[in-house]
Structure 1
Amino acid sequence: MAAHFGRRLYKGAATTAVAAVAVAALSASEAPGVTADGQGRPTAAGATPAPEQPAAGDTATGNSHYYTALPPLKSPNPAPTTAVGLPVADTPSEAGIPATVLAAYKKAEAELRTAKPGCNLPWQLLAAIGKVESGHAGGGRVTADGTTITPILGPVLNGVGFANISDTDHGAYDNDSTYDRAVGPMQFIPSTWKWAGRDGNGDGKKDPNNVFDAALATGHYLCRFGWDLADTRDLRKAILSYNASEDYLNTVLSWMEYYRRGTHTIPDGTGAVPSERGGTGPTPGTPGTTPRPSSPSTPATDTPSTPGAPNGSGGPSTPGTPGKPGGGTSPSPDPTDPAPSKPTLPPSRTDIVDHLKDVDTPQLTARAGDAFTQRISARAETKTGKSLAKVRVRFVITGDTDTVFTGGEKIATVVTGASGVAVAPALQAGEKTGTFTVRALVVGRTVTGLDYRATVTERTADALARTGDTPLSCAPGGEFADQVELKATYEKAAAGKVAATATLVKSADDATANTKGPYFKDADGKPVRTLTDLRTDAKGVLKLPKLYADDTTGTFLLRVTTAGGATLTVELRVAPAGTPASPDPSPSQSPGTDTEPSTAPSPSTTTGSTASA
C-alpha cells in the first residue's frame, strides 16, 4: 500500500476508508494486543476508544499530521525469498527495512534491555515509529555510520499551518535561527533533543540526524516514567506521548504488529519510500520545502501541532524535508507538555491559574547514589487561593547535577489532583555532590514558578570492621604477609564508594603520621605513611596496599577513617621471627619510638583492632 510521503493528511481525510479495511483485516489476523474499534481501527487491548481521544488543545502534539498509510493486508511472514526473480535483499517490499536502519533499531533495543530492563522495549516499535516518521530515513539513505545523507527536516514551525515555535537551538540542528523544525529520521525538535538526545553509535556526539542516536533517544523517550511496554496500557501511554492522537497510536500499533510477523533486510538506499497520493505537497528529496495541506475538506477543528513531543506534527514530508513539528518553546521542554502558546487545559480552567504554592515540602537532602525520601508538592491556586484540579505542572531539575527523577529523566509533568496538588516523582541522587534546583512551572501559562533547593551530600559510612582477624605482623625490614582489608557499612548496609584515608599514626592520642615503623610505598617505591583518595568498592570493601617494615621493632597503629566519621585502628607488630608477644611496654616508651610515652594497647590484651565512630 502506498503511503503519503509528500504531505500530511488530517484525520478523516481521503484514506480513511482504505485504512479501515486494512486495519480490520490486520485485526482479524489475531495480532497480539490489537483489537479493532467500531470503525475498524486497531486499538491496543484496554485502550481508550477513538471517540475519547484527547482534545487537540490538551495534547502534546495537538493531534497533528502524520503518515496515515497502514501496512499491507498480507502478512510478511514468512519473509519472501524472491520476488519477480530478484533476491530478497533487492526486494523493496513494505516488510523490507534498510540494513543500517534495522541495525539501529535492534541495537537500541539491546541497550535498553540493559539500561531499563523493566521497559521491555521491542525494536519493532522503533521500526513502526521510524516508518511513520520518515519512511526509515527516506528508504535507508544513510552513511555507513547511520547519518542521513540528506538532512531530514520538518516544515518551518512559523504558525502557518503548524505550531509557532521560535528558534531554540540557534539553528544548530535545523539550520533555522528564527523558527524550529523537526530534525532527523525520528523527527525530534531541537528543544526536545536537548534533553532526550543520546549517543547511539559511540562517536561521542548526540546527533538527531544519525539513526543510531535517534533510535536510542526514542527508546529512552518511550521508556521514561517506569513504563513497561509489555503492558498494553503503558504501551499506549508511551506512543501517545510521542504524538497524542488515537489515529497515530493505531497506525503505529499496526506497523509494529506487521513487523512482528516478519521482516527482511534490504540494502541501504533501496527502501520503498512512501509515495504521495494527491495534494500539492513537495516531491520527495526537495530540501527545505514546507508541506501544505491542500484538501478543502480538512476539518476546521484540526489544529496545528503543539510542541512538547519529540516530533510535533507526526513525521517528515519528504526524504530530504520530512515534516513533523513538535516540542516546546519553554526553557525546559517536556515531551508530554503542550505548547506554551496554546492552553494546556480548557480556557475556563487554565486562564484562572494565578500561582503555585508549596505544600509543606521538607528540606531535600540525600547522600550520593541514594533516593531522596522527601517529595516535592506544589498546589495550583487562583488569585483568591482556590485550589485547581487538572492543571499540568512541570518539574525541571536545573544546575550542575546528575540527579534525576525516577525513570532517569530531568523533566516530569504531573497533573494536579482534586486537591489541586501535584507531587513530583521521587528524586534519585547521582554521584555529583552539591546543591541544585528543582523548578515547578505551570504548563502553558506565564506564572511565576517555585524553586526548590536540593542537596546531595557525599557517601558516608558509620562503621568500619576488618574482614578477617589474623594478627598482622612481620620481621624487621620485611613485608606483612596479609594486606589490611576492611568493610564499611552505613546503617548496617554495605557503604559503597565511600571516601577514606589511612594513616600510620604515632599513638592512639596522636594522629600525626609516624616517622618510623611500617609504611606503604608510593609509585616510585618510596615509603609513605598516609594514603588519601581511597574509596570503598561497590560492596563497601576497602583493601589497602601492601605494608612494609623498616628496622624499628614494636607495636604500631594504622588508623583508617571514612567520610562520615567511621574510624578503625588496627595494630601492626614488627618483631624478629619467633619472638613471643611482649608484655605491655613501659609507660616511658612508646612502641616503635624511643622517646614518646606509649598509649597504644598491648597486643596481649587486645583483639588486634579498635573502632570508633
Structure 2
Amino acid sequence: MAAQFGRRLRRGATSGAVVAAAVAALAASQGPGAAPPPPADNASGDRPVGAGDASALPDGSATGDSPYYTDLPPLNTPNKPGTSIDLPIVTGPAEAGIPASVLAAYKRAEQSIAASDAACHLPWQLLAGIGKVESGQARGGRVDANGTTLSPILGPVLNGVGFANISDTDNGAFDGDATHDRAVGPMQFIPSTWATWGQDANGDGRKDPNNIYDAAQAAGLYLCANNRDLAVKADLDRAILSYNRSTEYLHTVLSWFEYYKRGTHQVPDGTGQLPRDRSDTPRVDTSPRPTRPAPTTPAPSPSTPAPSPSKPSTPVTPSPSDPATKPPASAQVTRIKDVGTGTLTATAGGVFAARPTIAALDSAGKPVVGLGVRFEIVGSTDANFGGVARNVTVTTNSKGIAVAPPVRAGERTGTFTVRATVVGRTLAPVAFTATVTERQADTLVRGDDKQLTATTGGRFADRVLVKATLDGAAASSVGLTATMITSADAPRTRTDGPYFKDANGAPLRTLTGLRTDANGLLTLPDIYADGQTGTFLLRLTAPGGGTLTIELKVTAPAPEPTPTPTPEPTPTPAPSTGAPEVTPTP
C-alpha cells in the first residue's frame, strides 16, 4: 500500500494538502512518540506549496561562498540504484542514513516544486547532497518537531578575512551580526539571498532559514531559477555553482548526489553521521602511502632479437575546430552590444522590470559562448543587484547572451548607469541608463469624516488623517505635500488664513517632507487659525496623481455677554407729622 501511495504521489502532487499528506507518510516511521510533521502552507489545496513565492533570479551565490564540508562518500556505495527505504530500519553504510525530518523536508520540496515547475526536474537527492555539504544534514538532524534547528547554524563572519566581504543586510535579524552577514541555517543562505528566496513551507507564518522545511524549499526554487532543467548536466552544474562558486564544491556535491541516488535510508532525528573536514580547515594527510617498485627492464634472451628503434611518429596537426586549439572566449570576442534592453525605470524600493542584456560577438559577428561579462552599477545611487551587490559577473549562454540579475532600486531617486564590460579584455563597454522615480500614490482619501473647525487665533481640535493608495493597495513611504490654497480652481498658495508652524513656531502654509507609513497612512501636524474667518481649503498632493482637498472652517469666538447696569435706588420721603413747618422771621 505504501509503495502504491508513493507512486500516485510522484505522478500528481499538485496541492499543499497532498504534499502535507506526503510528509506525514514519510515521517510517520520516525519512531514512537514522534510529533507529526508541520502542516503545508495553503493546505486547503488552492495552489502548490511555494508556487509563485519567488520572483527574482539568483545572482552571486546563495551562501556568499561560505566554507563547506569536504568529506566524500565512502567507496562502498549502496547497491540499490534509485531506491529510498522509508522504513525505520537502518541498513547499508552509515553515511547513507538521513535524519527523518531532514529527509521528509527534501522529499516535500521535490514534490512541491514538481507541481509548480515540473520542467526543472528537481531531485530530492540534489538537496540532500547540498544539505550534507553545507551543514551535515542539519548537524545530523538536530531539529525540533517543527523542523527548526535546536540551535542556529551560522557560517563564519563574512568580513573579507579569508571569505567574501558582505556588509550587514538584515540588521542582524537572522545571523545576529549587525556589521557583516553570515550564512544561516541548514542550507546556509546569506540573509540577502534569503530575503528574496525565503519560504514558509511549514505553514507557521514565518520564513525561517533555520527551519529545514523552509530552507529546503527555498534551496529547490533557487536551484531551479533561470529556467534550468536539472536533468541536463550543464544546467545541473550551473545550479550547484550558483550555490557556491567553487569547482571543488561542485565535485563534492555531485559525489553525494550520485551516492544518494544509489539508495539511502532514514535514521532518527539527531543520529545522523556528522562530517569532519571543512574547506576552511587545512587538511594533513597522515595515512601511509603505498610505494610502487621501480619498473625493471628484463634483459633480452640470446634468442630474442633486440627491438628495433621505433620510427618517429608523424605529428598530427589539429584542425581549427579542435576544442584544444580554440582560443578562450575572452580572445574571441571583439565587441559587445545591447540587445533590446529597453528603458530601465523603477520606483524607489521596487525592482526594474527590464534587465540589462548584451550579446558578445567575434570578428565574424558570431556569438561568443562562455564569456565573462561584468555588470556594474555606477553613480550616486543605492540601487543594487539582488539586494546586496553593486557588481556581478555573468557568463554568456549558448547564444552569446548575458543577462544581468534583476536590479533593485533603493530609496534615492535620480539617474545612474549600469555598465557592462568584458572580463579580461579592454573593449568598449555598454552603458545602460537607469532612472529611479519617487514612490507614487494615485488616490488620497480622508481617514475620517470629522468636520475641521477652529476659532480665530486658536488651534483646530482634530488632526487630519490621510490614506494613500496605488492601484488599490496601500502606498507606503510616499512623499506628500500639504498646501493652503486660494481656491480649488486656482490653487495658489494663501498668504493668510490657517497655517502650520515651522520649527521656530512661524506660520507655514506649504508643508513638504511628509511621508506615509507602512500602511499608507499619514497624520498631519497641528493646524492653527489666524484672525481670518471663513471657509478655507487645504490641498494634499502625491507623486502619481493622488490629490485631496479638505475644507477648514474658522469662526469668530462667541461674543461675551454685556452686563446690565443695576439702577440706583430712589430715596423714600420721610413721613409728615401734620404741622406745617414755620420758618422763623429774622
TM-score by length of 2: 0.50
Larger Rg: 2
> More relative contact order in 1 or in 2 (CA 8 Å, sep 6+)?
1
TM-score by length of 1: 0.48
